[in-house]
Structure 1
Amino acid sequence: QVRMGNDERMATPIAYMDWPFDGLSVGYAYRWGVESMGTGRIRFCYGRGFETGLEIEGQNDTMADMDFGGFSWDLMKKGNRFMNIQSFMAFDVFNYPSFSSDFVNFGAAFPPDQGGFGERMVVGNISHSSVVYQDKVADFNFFAVGGWSVTDPNKNGMFNDYAGMGAAQQMAGMGMSQDMINGALTQMGMEGTPHTDSENGYSVYLGARYDFDSIGLKLGAEWNYGSEYWIAMNPGNDDLFLGKLGARGNVFEVYGIYDLPTGEAISKYAKTFIRLGWQHYEYDYSGSMDWNAKPYDLDDSAELSQINMVDGMSGRSTVESADQVYLTFEAYF
């Protein structure tokens, strides 16, 4: 919320979780016995994502719905000082959603070696935990966030090596035995079957903002890093390019916010401002925010040729770095 330009924290900053599930939340609020710790609250949250709308027996009940459940704990809140711990699990995670267009669904159902995503299926579970610390000293705002994701795939696999699986199919079509196929894939550092191992991912997110209240100006800078198997559950991000918190690599951002003295005319909660910023993405691994495909090392020439093979089959193009400058006019009340 520091990046949003708020003068005060408006709600729990959930950082890596931004998935619009229908559900419920129930919690307990408390006050610490130590004055310096202030207050806190802990909540249990549950939600369900309907994969094909409300299920009708015999029509669209072919796939399990994705469930989400976990805890969000505002450990302490005292003035501007705040700390939150969040841990949840996503159950029955799908490989890709049901798209609104029948034409897109038709194309997506093609196997990966023909440019599609394959049959829609449940691929396993994902657990996710994060810690957020936020504070303000005079006119200096800052925060630090750490994230940890863990995959628990079923037989369909997560982080599958589609280049290796495609190569295995081609070699099988040539009449090669399974032992020969396995030996060839091992030499090439590829995997020809679904990846069913559990993988850990990590992320760090740091940011700061200085407020020049006398002239209505705010200047901020942020940096975040994601590891090889990092997964951010934030498809609802508002980044113009890809969601930066899902990046497997480094993202740098600097921005300035100029508050326009107009919001208060509507509501004491209203704000109107102009934001100018720059983001630089430097990816170490492919597939940011995706749990289906293997994160190919973009600095490794052999793996780079493999991801180029996957891109050729799917019609996509892997980005190694990107820059964007944005200018926005924003208002809320």
Structure 2
Amino acid sequence: MRKLEKLLIGAAVCALAAPVVAQADDQDMQKKIDELTKKVQKLEEQQKGSDQKKVEDLTRKVDRIEEKSLGKWLTIGGDYRFRVDSLRGDVAAHSDAIGTMNNLVGGFLGPNGVAGTPIGSADGTNSPTALQFIMMGKSGSLFTPTQFNTILNSYMPQAMAAALPGIFTAMGSGNFTLQNTALTPQQQGILNTLGAKVMPAVMNMQIGSIPNMLGLVQAMNPAATATTKVGDVFAGLPAAQQQLAQQMLMQAFLGQAGALNNNASNLATTQSYKAKNDLLYTNRLGIDMHAKATKDVTVNVRLVAYKTFGSQDDSAVTNNGNTPFFADRVGAFDGTLGHVPSSSLLDVDRAYATWSNIADQPVWFSVGRRPSTNGAPSNLRLNNERPGNGGTPALLVDYAFDGMTLGWAPDIEALPGAYAKVCYGRGFESGFETPSNSLKDTDMLGVAIIPVDTDPLRVWLQWNRGFNIFDFPVMSNTAFGNTGPATSLGDIDWYGAGFMSTLKNIGPGKLNFFADAGLSVTHPNGNVSNNAGFQGLMTGSFFNQEAPSDKTGWAAYAGARYDYEPSKTKFGIEYNHGSKNWITFAPAADDMWTSKLGTRGDVYEAYLIQELNLKPVSSHLSKAFFKIGYQYYDFAYTGSNNWVGAPQKISDIKSTDLMLLQPLKSAQDIYATFEVKF
């Protein structure tokens, strides 16, 4: 353009310099100059428009490239944690229920056992042999339903009947009284259960079908015949003698070693001891993805791999195939995948889609594997950001649910940040309903109202109901074999209210503190779990069935964390208490022994977090820190985090009491972590 301009101007100068040669007048020359100037201006405008168009085209191309780039619609982050724990526990003396059952069954199937004999049979039919009983089994199962029915309805009545001659002979010696054969409260309960489920079959047996019984009875009553029933023999005894016979029968089967059982015992008794794991190392990797699919529709995904050093299973926290300590640490299952150390496989911890601004209103709908773990206020001790509107109070729920949420966030000036939501989740899918499958789905319904949600203050109110609570979740290779729901035990209601707050400029830092309270109310439906020895929803103990009744429990949770900003140091303390009948739904909590918020007793925790003073790179929330902490559990009742069976006071446990889980009096965990969030 500039070269053209110079040529034109030069031409004009030549024209001015040649008036003599061209003999043109000044007016013609000026006209030519004006025309050339206009042409130059026009060419400049055309060139400028062309450059602008090129710039605009280039801008559009860049915008299209940016819209298609990953960074425009996909955000990837995550976290890594190395953790070391030193665990100590004080186990109370007790008798292992499953070990005792195995001893009993071993006796039934042994060379001198009742299996394959006609004891008690009026027509001489034999009970299933030991081989037949074994063939009823299923790989990975402790006892199949068929085996359990054989034990309850065949072997146990036979064994009790076979013991009667020895019991009657011992009674005649005068060495046994109601006092020296007295039963513990649990033994009396077991006797009551057997009296309803086993003894009717014994009482209906003919004494002629029981070895050595006919002659013994005829010595007391010559009128007795082979067809006389055991019940008629008992009816002829004084009430005190009937009671003594039953107590001696119970002592022979489930009492301590003594004369009645030849200095042996079926009880698998464990004396009090110290359980410990000096050093438990774990690795955890989490990958977070947030995708903007369309306007107002997003997808969030979290993948987690959580494993123990030197292991690809959960045995380090489930007691290595021995009787576990707590129900939420029997094995990893759907609600705890990625939250209990298990394997190096990446599990889908969260995967859900959210549609916001529905109909241009502050309404959202979200569905998928929910963000129902690590809720407020546990974010403080985990050093996480405050959970968004998808979280749930940690005191009531810490469980990886599949479900959906419908939420509403009205703009109310007096209630800043307020929102409400209705949540639904499925804890167990029962499959097709068939003549052989009457199980029901386990579902959860919740309503959350958050009247205030701001940086200085967050307040929450929560109600949940669990419908058709199962007895056992689906787990593999546990101390109880491969487990799964066998019956629905009833419903549970939960109520909660709490708050968390932050006060800034408290000295050289800020103070975070919270308080939370919860109430649980169980509604048993009368069903009991055969796999758990006739225990129901917060009712009964092993082989000690209890009439169903609602149980109400409560819990409180409080704590504080001070953030010393100059050095990025954070110090926190927490305390929680659970009553005798408190039950939560929090097996996925980040605690090694058991979810501390489900404890029936007291838990104290203190921790120190030291963040490294390093510039964030991957995101403004990126950080790296060390953490050390200490937890002390003081258990008042058995059954923390377990809704199967009634709680029993720890101090009242006898060494003869049958326990499905090992009862801890106290436990402690000294832990340290190195964590990176990116």
Question: For the superposition of Structure 1 and Structure 2, which TM-score range results when normalised by the shorter chain?
Answer: 0.7 to 0.9
Whole-angstrom CA distance in 2 between matches of 1:58 and 1:269: 52
Match of 1:162, as an amino acid? S
Deviation at 1:64, TM superposition (A): 1.0
- Of 477, 482, 503, the residue aligned with 1:137 is 503
**1:309 corresponds to which residue?**
657
Q: Note the C-alpha offset of 1:310.
A: 1.9
Matches within 5 A, 1:1-333: 1-6=379-384, 9-11=386-388, 12=391, 14-16=393-395, 17-34=397-414, 37-51=415-429, 55-56=431-432, 58=434, 61-101=437-477, 104-105=480-481, 120-138=486-504, 139-156=510-527, 157-163=536-542, 166=543, 192-262=544-614, 264-299=616-651, 301=652, 304-305=653-654, 309-311=657-659, 314=660, 316-333=661-678
Q: Which moved more, 1:258-267 or 1:243-252?
A: 258-267
Instruction: Check conservation: 1:147, 1:204, Cα contact below 8 A.
Output: yes
Distance apart, 1:331 and its partner CA? 2.3
Equivalent residue letter for 1:247: T
The offset of 1:195, in angstroms, is: 3.7
Q: What's the CA shift for 1:105?
A: 4.2
Which deviates the most, 66-75 or 249-258?
Answer: 66-75
Contact 2:522-2:538 at 8 Å conserved across structures: no
RMSD of aligned alpha carbons: 2.3
Report if the CA contact (8 A) 2:421-2:449 is conserved: yes
Alpha-carbon offset, residue 80 of structure 1? 2.1
Contact 1:51/1:98 (8 A) holds in 2: no
Distance 1:102 1:162 in 2: 21
- Could you tell me how far apart the structure 2 residues matched to 1:65 and 1:146 are? 29
Distance 2:421 2:493 in 1: 17
What CA distance in whole angstroms lies between the structure 2 residues aligned with 1:121 and 1:56?
15
Q: How many residues are treated as equivalent by the alignment?
A: 284
Judge conservation of contact 1:159–1:293 (CA < 8 Å) in 2: yes
Q: Secondary structure at the match of 1:94?
A: coil
Question: What whole-Å deviation, never above 9, does each CA across 1:87-116 have from its counterpart, x for those lacking one?
Answer: 01000100111223499545x58xxxxxxx
Higher mean Cα deviation, 79-88 or 13-22? 13-22
State the TM-score, normalized to the length of structure 1.
0.79
- Tell me, which stretches of 5 or more residues in structure 2 are unaligned? 1-378, 505-509, 528-535
| Contact 2:587-2:594 at 8 Å conserved across structures | no
Per-residue CA shift, 1:53-110, capped at 9, x if unaligned?
Answer: xx2465985421101111111111233201011101000100111223499545x58x
- Counterpart for residue 311 of structure 2: none
Q: Is the CA contact (8 Å cut-off) linking 2:465 and 2:493 kept in structure 1? A: yes
What amino acid is aligned across from residue 600 of structure 2 in structure 1?
A: R
Give the 3-state SS of the residue equivalent to 1:31 in structure 2: coil
Deviations along 1:3-32, whole A, 9 cap, x unmatched? 1224x5232451221122211100110232
Equivalent AA in structure 2 for residue 75 of structure 1: P
Distance, in Å, in 1 between the alignment partners of 2:471 and 2:579 is 21
Bigger strand fraction: 1
Aligned residue type for 1:256: L
Letter in 2 for 1:19: Y
Superposed displacement of residue 194, structure 1: 3.2
CA contact (8 A) 1:226 1:248 kept: yes
Structure-1 separation of matches of 2:519 and 2:599: 14
Structure 1 unmatched ranges of 5 or more = 110-118, 167-191
Tell me the distance in 2 between the aligned counterparts of 1:197 and 1:26: 34
* 1:243 Cα offset (Å): 0.8
Between Structure 1 and Structure 2, whose CA radius of gyration is higher?
2
Q: 1:42 to 1:263 in 2, by over 3 A?
A: farther
| Structure-2 change in CA distance of 1:263 and 1:130 (3 Å) | farther
Structure-2 change in CA distance of 1:105 and 1:60 (3 Å): farther
Aligned residue type for 2:421: R
Q: What is the CA–CA distance in structure 2 between the aligned matches of 1:132 and 1:283, rounded to whole Å? A: 24
Matched-pair contact (CA < 8 Å) for 2:553–2:580 = yes
- Kept in 2: contact 1:95–1:292 (CA 8 A): yes
Distance 1:60 1:242, change over 3 A: farther
Q: What is the one-letter code of the residue matched to 1:286?
A: T
AA partner of residue 10 (structure 1): P
The change in CA–CA distance for 1:20 and 1:60 in structure 2 (over 3 A counts) is farther
- Give the TM-score, by structure 2 length: 0.40
* 2:537 partner letter: M
- Asked if the contact 1:253/1:279 (under 8 Å) is kept, the reply is yes
* Cα contact 1:257–1:274 (8 A) shared by 2: yes
1:120/1:287 CA distance change after superposition, 3 Å:
same
Code of the aligned partner of 1:323? Q
1:198-221 alpha-carbon deviations (Å, 9 max, x no partner): 011100000000111111110000
> What CA distance in whole angstroms lies between the structure 1 residues aligned with 2:500 and 2:406?
24
Counterpart amino acid of 2:405?
S
8 Å Cα contact 1:220/1:254 also seen in 2: yes
Higher helix share: 2
Distance between the aligned counterparts of 1:102 and 1:326, measured in 2?
Answer: 26
Local SS of the residue matching 1:215: coil
Q: Deviations over 1:114-136 (max 9, x none)?
A: xxxxx821000001111120001
Which one-letter code corresponds to 1:281 in the other structure?
Y
1:89 maps to a residue whose letter is: R
